Amino acid sequence: MKLSLTHFEATLIFALFISVVLGIVTKKTDKERMTYGLSCFGRFIATIFGLAWLMKLGHG
């Protein structure tokens, strides 16, 4: 079975997993972990959209 994802789906899933792990390993309390994980995920999403627009505009 081969999974076929679009660029957006793949980066979204990857960002989600990385955010979960970063949240777990970096903070001390569950509340801090949740906040940091969500904050990381938000920043990943912003970066994904930012870079996507940059590439679109740069491509012409």
Q: By the criterion CB under 8 A, which residues form the site for another protein?
A: 1-5, 7, 10, 13-14, 17-18, 20-22, 24-26, 28
What is the nearest approach in angstroms of another protein to the Cβ of residue 52? 14
Residue by residue, DSSP assigns 1-47 as ------HHHHHHHHHHHHHHHHHHHH-SSHHHHHHHHHHHHHHHHHH
What is the nearest approach in angstroms of another protein to the Cβ of residue 57? 21
What is the nearest approach in angstroms of another protein to the Cβ of residue 1? 6
